[in-house]
Structure 1
Amino acid sequence: MNQPETQAIAPSQRERIYRRNFFFFLSDGVLFMVAMGVISSTTVIPDFVRRLTDSEILIGFSGTMFSIGFTLPQLFVARYIVRHANKKWWFVGPNIPVRFVVLTFSLLLMWLGKDRPELVLVLFFVCYGVAALGDGLVGVPWADLAGTSLDSRWRARLFGWQSAVTGVIMLGVAPLIAIILGGATFPDNYALLFGISGVLFVLSIIPGVFFRELPGGKALDKVPSFGEFLPDLGRVLRDDVPFRAILITRIFTSLFAMAGPFYIGFATVQLGMSSEVAVPALLAMQIIGSVSGALLYTWLGARNNLLYIRLALLGGAMWPLTALLAAAVGPLPLYIGYLMSGLTVTNLIFSYQNWVVTYATPDRRPIYVGLFSTISAVVALIAPFIGGTIAESFGYLPLFVFAMLMAFSALFVTLRYLRNTRMEEEPREVAVSSGTV
Structure 2
Amino acid sequence: MPIKKFTQHLNERLQNEEDARACKAIEERACRVVPGNYFLTLISYFFNTLADSIANAKVVIPWIMQTLNAPVFLISFLVPIRESGAMLPQLFIGAYIRQKPIRKWVWVLGALLQALTMGGIALVAYTLEGMVAGYAIIALLLLFSLARGLSSVAAKDVLGKTIPKKRRGKLTGVSSSFAGLVVIVLGAYLLFVGEKPFSPENFAVLLCLAGLCWILAAIFYGNITEYPGETEGGGNAAAIAIKKISLLKTDKMFRLFVISRALFLSSVLSAPFFIILAQEYTNSNTYLLGFFILANGLSALLSAPFWGNFADLSSRKVMIVGAMITSVLGVILFCIDLLAPHWFANIWFMPILYFFLSIGYHGIRVGRKTYVVDMAEGNKRTDYVSVSNTLIGFILLLTGFVGSLNAIMSISSIILTLSIVGFIGVYLTYKLPEVQEEE
TM-score by length of 1: 0.85
Give distance in 2, aligned partners of 1:10 and 1:230.
31
| Superposed counterparts of 1:162-181, under 5 Å | 162-179=175-192
Shift in Å at residue 117 of structure 1? 2.1
Cα distance 1:356–1:422, how it changes in 2: closer, same or farther (>3 A)? closer
Shift in Å at residue 425 of structure 1? 7.2
The yes-or-no answer on 1:404 pairing with 2:404 is: no
Match of residue 270, structure 2, among 245, 252, 259: 259
1:329 equivalent in structure 2: 342
Q: Is the 8 A contact 1:256 1:402 kept in 2?
A: no
2:250 equivalent in structure 1: 239
| Superposed counterparts of 1:34-49, under 5 Å | 34-49=50-65
1:369 equivalent in structure 2: 385
Cα distance 1:107–1:226, how it changes in 2: closer, same or farther (>3 A)? closer
| Superposed counterparts of 1:339-378, under 5 Å | 339-378=355-394
1:80 equivalent in structure 2: 96
Q: Could you report, residue by residue, the CA deviation over 1:274-313 in whole angstroms, capped at 9, with x for unpaired residues?
A: 2211111122122222222212113211111111110000
Q: Is the 8 A contact 2:42 2:174 kept in 1?
A: yes
Q: Is the 8 A contact 1:258 1:380 kept in 2?
A: no
Q: Could you report, residue by residue, the CA deviation over 1:137-170 in whole angstroms, capped at 9, with x for unpaired residues?
A: 2221221101111112221121110111111222
Match of residue 313, structure 1, among 323, 335, 341: 323
CA-based RMSD of the aligned residues comes to 2.6
2:399 equivalent in structure 1: 383
Give distance in 2, aligned partners of 1:123 and 1:59.
12
Shift in Å at residue 224 of structure 1? 4.6
Cα distance 1:146–1:40, how it changes in 2: closer, same or farther (>3 A)? same
Give the partner amino acid of 1:260.
A
Give distance in 1, aligned partners of 2:240 and 2:97.
15
The yes-or-no answer on 1:418 pairing with 2:432 is: yes
Match of residue 220, structure 1, among 217, 223, 232: 232
Give distance in 2, aligned partners of 1:158 and 1:165.
11
1:155 equivalent in structure 2: 168
Q: Is the 8 A contact 1:290 1:347 kept in 2?
A: no
The yes-or-no answer on 1:285 pairing with 2:295 is: yes
2:354 equivalent in structure 1: 338
Q: Is the 8 A contact 1:267 1:273 kept in 2?
A: no
Match of residue 149, structure 2, among 110, 130, 136: 136
Give the partner amino acid of 1:188.
E
Q: Could you report, residue by residue, the CA deviation over 1:234-256 in whole angstroms, capped at 9, with x for unpaired residues?
A: 1x111211111110011112244
| Superposed counterparts of 1:185-204, under 5 Å | 185-204=198-217
Give distance in 1, aligned partners of 2:259 and 2:428.
8
- Provide the aligned length of Structure 1 versus Structure 2: 407
Give the partner amino acid of 1:248.
I
Q: Is the 8 A contact 1:312 1:348 kept in 2?
A: yes
Give the partner amino acid of 2:383.
I
Cα distance 1:60–1:396, how it changes in 2: closer, same or farther (>3 A)? farther
The yes-or-no answer on 1:28 pairing with 2:41 is: no
Q: Which runs of 5+ in 1 are unaligned?
A: 1-8, 427-437
Q: Could you report, residue by residue, the CA deviation over 1:330-351 in whole angstroms, capped at 9, with x for unpaired residues?
A: 2354233211122121242232
Give the partner amino acid of 1:283.
I
TM-score by length of 2: 0.84
Give the partner amino acid of 1:413.
L
Q: Which runs of 5+ in 2 are unaligned?
A: 1-25
Q: Could you report, residue by residue, the CA deviation over 1:359-402 in whole angstroms, capped at 9, with x for unpaired residues?
A: 12313121111001111111112212x22212355442232122
